[in-house]
Structure 1
Amino acid sequence: MAVEIREVGVAELGEFRRAEAVGFHHEPSATEADIEHLAALLTRPGELLGAFDGGRCVATYHSFPHEVTAPGGAFVPSNAVSRVTVTPTHRRRGLLTRMITEDLRVARERGEILASLIAAEYPIYGRFGFGPAAWLADYRVDLPRAGATSRWSVPEEGTLAHVDPERVMAEGPALHDRMRALRHGVVTRPLPWWRRLAGLYRPSDERWTTPVHLLYTADDGTVEGLATYRSNGKWEGSRPAATLTVQDLIATTPAAERALWRHLCSIDWAVAVETGGRAPDDTLPHWLGDPRAAVVRTYYDSLWLRPLDVPRLLESRAYPAEADLVLDVHDPQGLTPGRFLLQATPDGASCTPTTRTADLTLDVGALATLWIGDDSAHRLSATARLTPHTPDALTRADLLFPTPRRPWCPDIF
């Protein structure tokens, strides 16, 4: 019997989640709470696709609408791809190719500018036009070594308070919306995501420790920061040796971010803080008396992007300089290929099809990397991800696409 790819019905959500768990090596079970959480994430028909061999789901795929913040603060509509698995017994049969190819085509017709995903494995998604766009650094801070500095010990500003899950739900989404306007690479968070962070939904396949939530409020009453962490409560040789694991820390001001980290790095009985996924240029190490106390445990590509509409994508971001650039864009799926003239200024940009001689040739994955600002044209050329055709093409590109900070996508979606 041929494997059938189709939309997953409500009665099949448990089977879908079981197949997803098998693909990700999790406990292959689904509680009523797990199914309710999955159902709450769905916002439009056709979001969940499954490959069915008889009545058994053997591949999973989820796509849904969200937004990615562009350099300059614009919110760009994107087709987010998630929950991609293929059961080991059905690998190498083209199931992912069938699902993702059709999904990207439909997303392009629907008007999304980008597709986005968090890549579990690096080699998979380049052939579908995705490129690595934002990287994460996961630090472990050795607290006895971290020390304090005069900068760290500046007078306290605002107020820190422990809050309950209901307060997280009340304050968190609006705070995050303000934060994502300030940092490119950040993506939207649906309300079910917040329920999980707050501890109101507990996945059945995860070991559970109740989270602690910290809210930072400025002197004028504005909520400017929120952190969630867990402690392992460890003791060694009758001495406390707890490690704090940060699940999330967002802030809209440097004062809020500094105050949250200062508190986390000074909690009694804790000997280490694991920060979770931070931007590679995060400022935390520089607040420590010894920045080397913050050791990078892992450094990895997280957010991958795939242009679906090149002109609208290039017009969506801000540019720090004025220049023209002709880009010859190759697309393995044929969704948005062509030669385009980008005319950019600090006041705005236009991008139109052109027959002019190309300054740069690149595929859509490399264009995504260049667009988000995490790699320079010179580096992309040195690694053979783009080809210059005019003497100053790389210099002009690097005038247009740099960003003051590296992009950051703290979320797994």
Structure 2
Amino acid sequence: MTAPDVRTVTLSDFPDWLRALNTGFLRPPTPSDEEVAGRLGYMDLSRAQGAFDAGRCVATFRSFAQELTVVGGATVPTDAVTNVAVSPTHRRRGLLSRMMAADLAAAKERGDVAATLIAAEYPIYGRYGFGPAAGATEWEIDVHRTGLNPHRPVPAPGDGGRIDLVDGAEIRKLGPALHDRLRARQHGVVSRGAHWWNRLTGQTLFPKEPWTEPFYAVHRGPDGTVDGMLVYRADENWSDAKQPLNRATVRSMIAVTPAAERALWHFLCSVDWISTIRTGYRPADDLLPLLLPDPRAARVVTQADFLWVRVLDVVRALEARTYAVPGSLVLEIHDASGPAAGRFHLDASPDGTTCTPTTRSADLAMGVGELGTLCLGDESVSRLAALDRVAELAPGAAASADAVFRTARRPWCPDAF
């Protein structure tokens, strides 16, 4: 049996590549001409790979340029991996491994600090050096139990802000600058291109993906500057007793001040007829439950890994972020595929950090996937050591590393990609 040919996708290949992608994600397989044209409008085919067997595409893979905000607000160039699918007829033949190896090698050559992805399934990507770096939590709010006064104006008098309902065009105008402010303060956030905003506001529509126009709201601070944005949909559901039981589902909510965050959640809880709210994916330490007089009105319905990181350049990854406390550690990184392997001396300080290759004895040893899990500050080194995923080679090194790596707030990636 001849092995499938893995290669860069051409324009003539693309409809078949898209059919294979739809097949892998259990969507109606045959793409329409409109879907082909729509997706070609934002894709870079030079970074799309396919596996072809007897002329038919049986596996897909794509990456694109991205920036990831690290601890402290700096951004690093990353290789965002997406559209990974292997047809059920061709599983366990190493096709994903071949495409991943080619893509990561190209990313390293370009100078990307890391690769990122949103894992559809947990067990797949650890073997390629990815580690879960930021989780996601979704709450369902029972509006009537929140304890909020439904007759209270939102924002409350004296808050100095206001909330305005706007349209999609206004969101496309105001959203990018607001998101850039979020990126400067929240580690784990990734860059958004124009295509993202077009999808959010219905400017870009694909056949077979139903579109319902959402509601758009912005919060303006006392000086009139937009510091929060909320996009939500609502269903239409009434009880047999003619009581409204409508559910609002948040598609996007970002805020760069606690006042804006509080005002937008209180606003949504005050909308007539809304009895339940699905929050969408939020950071695990979101302010939301504690913004309510009765936090038990918000129950967790989803809590899982979300953003995965694969470090390609250890020195740049560790020097790019900031550290709240000083610390000196020698880390030995195991990386079977090579790019991140080595021993590195991290000399961290709030005033500046260096990371250099070294031959000194290691304090901690770990795989590159564990480094990805630790790099945004969300996981405990001591916890990983207890699981035998990190080896503590010097007494007390795990506790010292926790003090150096952990952050006061947890990372958050608002976007699937």
* Class of the TM-score when normalised by the shorter of the 2 chains: over 0.9
Give me the whole-angstrom Cα distance separating, in 2, the residues matched to 1:231 and 1:13.
Answer: 36
Residue 278 of structure 1 aligns with which residue?
282
Residue 404 of structure 2 aligns with which residue?
400
Residue 86 of structure 1 aligns with which residue?
86
Residue 196 of structure 1 aligns with which residue?
199
Residue 62 of structure 1 aligns with which residue?
62
| Two-structure CA RMSD over aligned residues (Å) | 1.7
Residue 147 of structure 2 aligns with which residue?
147
Give me the whole-angstrom Cα distance separating, in 1, the residues matched to 2:227 and 2:78.
Answer: 27
1:225 paired to 2:228: yes
Give me the whole-angstrom Cα distance separating, in 2, the residues matched to 1:256 and 1:378.
Answer: 36
Amino acid in structure 2 at the alignment position of 1:343: D
Residue 31 of structure 1 aligns with which residue?
32
Task: Give the superposition deviation at 1:180.
Answer: 1.0
Q: TM-score, normalised by structure 1?
A: 0.96
Any idea what the Cα deviations from partners look like across 1:102-143, whole Å, max 9, x if unmatched? 111111111000000000000000000000100000111011
1:308 paired to 2:312: yes
Residue 15 of structure 2 aligns with which residue?
14
Residue 173 of structure 2 aligns with which residue?
170
SS at match of 2:270: coil
1:389 paired to 2:390: no
Give me the whole-angstrom Cα distance separating, in 1, the residues matched to 2:99 and 2:272.
Answer: 50
Any idea what the Cα deviations from partners look like across 1:383-413, whole Å, max 9, x if unmatched? 1110111112112211211111110011110
SS at match of 1:400: helix
Task: Give the superposition deviation at 1:56.
Answer: 2.0
Give me the whole-angstrom Cα distance separating, in 2, the residues matched to 1:167 and 1:41.
Answer: 22
Amino acid in structure 1 at the alignment position of 2:214: P
SS at match of 2:302: strand
Task: Give the superposition deviation at 1:17.
Answer: 2.0
Contact kept, 8 Å, 2:154 with 2:267, in 1: the verdict is: no
1:348 paired to 2:320: no
Which residue of 162, 166, 178 corresponds with 1:159? Answer: 162
Residue 180 of structure 1 aligns with which residue?
183
Give me the whole-angstrom Cα distance separating, in 1, the residues matched to 2:231 and 2:12.
Answer: 34
Task: Give the superposition deviation at 1:151.
Answer: 12
Residue 288 of structure 1 aligns with which residue?
292
Task: Give the superposition deviation at 1:243.
Answer: 0.5
Task: Give the superposition deviation at 1:29.
Answer: 3.6
**Residues 310-349 of structure 1 aligned to structure 2 (within 5 Å):** 310-349=314-353
Any idea what the Cα deviations from partners look like across 1:180-232, whole Å, max 9, x if unmatched? 11100010111111101012222323333211111112221211111111111
**CA 390–296 in structure 1, closer or farther in 2 if over 3 Å, else same:** same
Contact kept, 8 Å, 2:155 with 2:163, in 1: the verdict is: no
1:46 paired to 2:10: no
Task: Give the superposition deviation at 1:22.
Answer: 1.0
SS at match of 1:174: helix
Amino acid in structure 2 at the alignment position of 1:265: C
**CA 85–378 in structure 1, closer or farther in 2 if over 3 Å, else same:** same
Contact kept, 8 Å, 1:29 with 1:205, in 2: the verdict is: no
Give me the whole-angstrom Cα distance separating, in 2, the residues matched to 1:162 and 1:17.
Answer: 37
SS at match of 1:127: helix
Name which of structure 1's ranges 262-271 and 217-226 shifts more when overlaid on structure 2.
217-226
Amino acid in structure 2 at the alignment position of 1:188: S
Q: Give ranges in structure 1 of 5+ residues lacking alignment.
A: none
SS at match of 1:240: coil
Q: Give ranges in structure 2 of 5+ residues lacking alignment.
A: none
Aligned residues: 412
SS at match of 1:195: helix
Which residue of 213, 217, 221 corresponds with 1:214? Answer: 217
Task: Give the superposition deviation at 1:316.
Answer: 0.6
Identity fraction in percent: 48
Contact kept, 8 Å, 1:175 with 1:223, in 2: the verdict is: yes
Give me the whole-angstrom Cα distance separating, in 2, the residues matched to 1:212 and 1:127.
Answer: 42
**CA 347–33 in structure 1, closer or farther in 2 if over 3 Å, else same:** farther
Any idea what the Cα deviations from partners look like across 1:65-110, whole Å, max 9, x if unmatched? 1011100101011001001000111111111000001111111111
Give me the whole-angstrom Cα distance separating, in 1, the residues matched to 2:30 and 2:258.
Answer: 42
